[in-house]
């Protein structure tokens, strides 16, 4: 699975977001810093979503399984 990262030059460096993953956004003084920060933002958004799902969905009536996506 690949996501699309978007980087936009700003007066203070770069702003960055993932157009495929709402909530994954950040900034950095350099393009490389913005890239690193965006990888961390993606990790944190996915982790938070997993934690919310674990909290909200549990019990014997819930089926969880891996799913793979081909890049679009």
Q: What is the pLDDT of residue 27?
A: 98
User: What total of structural domains would you count in the chain?
Assistant: 1
Whether the pLDDT of residue 4 is over 90: the answer is yes
Q: How many residues does the chain have?
A: 72
Edge-to-edge strand ranges of the sheet holding 25-28:
5-10, 13-18, 25-28
Measured CA to CA, the distance from residue 9 to residue 65 in angstroms comes to 39
Do 3 and 18 contact (CB within 8 A), yes or no?
yes
- Backbone φ/ψ region at 67: left (φ over 0), alpha (ψ -120 to 50), beta: beta
Q: Which range of residues forms the domain containing residue 16?
A: 5-53
Q: What is the pLDDT of residues 32-67, one digit of tens each?
A: 999 999 999 999 999 998 888 877 776 677 777 888
Domain contains 28: yes
């Amino acid at each position: 699975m690949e996501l699309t990262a978007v980087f936009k030059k700003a007066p203070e460096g770069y702003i960055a977001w993932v157009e495929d993953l709402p909530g994954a956004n950040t900034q950095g003084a350099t393009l490389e810093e913005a890239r690193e920060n965006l990888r961390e933002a993606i990790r944190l958004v996915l982790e938070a979503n997993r934690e919310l799902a674990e909290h909200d969905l549990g019990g014997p009536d819930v089926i969880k399984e891996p799913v793979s996506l081909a890049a679009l």
